[in-house]
Amino acid sequence: MPTEIEKKFLVKGTAWKGEIKGTKITQGYLLSNNLIMARVRVYGKKGYITLKGKRKGISRTEYEYEIPVREAKELLLYCEDRVLEKIRYKIPYKNEVFEVDEFLGINKGLVLAEIELKSEEQKFEKPHWLGKDVSQNKKYYNSNLVKSKLK
């Protein structure tokens, strides 16, 4: 069973940004409850559909499939007001890659960084621009950010 193990942090300042170009992501939620989340995403010029299971700590099952971008855009219409937009930057740091998301729309100004790990116990060096660990704070889950404004 494919598993996502992810830590999420608030980001301090803009020192992380440098000259790296980001990619726009539009993602919507077809379904989100305590057992499963179904998301559709347009990431640059590609489309994806993702199913994620219930969280256990910082882990959960994840099934993600590339789909034609045209179909992803059509599925986004079913998401109605459960859509968010962000710019994602992939920032290499000490043998790891942090994905930094700058949110647009109602959450403009919110910047979060994520790192995918191989195990919950994996150690990694934190760049100085990483702030508070919000991995298990539900208000920072993307599926909840479509519902309310955070900064």
Residues 102 and 81 sit within 8 Å (Cβ to Cβ): no
pTM of the full predicted structure? 0.93
Tell me which architecture the domain covering 3-145 has in CATH. Beta Barrel (2.40)
pLDDT tens readout for residues 7-35: 999 999 999 998 899 999 999 999 988 89
Backbone angles phi, psi at 72, to 5 degrees: -60, -45
pLDDT tens readout for residues 115-132: 999 999 999 999 999 999
Distance CA 33, CA 49 (A): 17
Q: What is the DSSP letter of 127?
A: P
Alpha-carbon 36 to chain mean position:
16
Q: Catalytic residue numbers?
A: 29
10 Å Cβ neighbour count for 7? Answer: 20
Helix (H, G, I), strand (E, B) or coil at 69: helix
Domain range annotation of the chain:
3-145
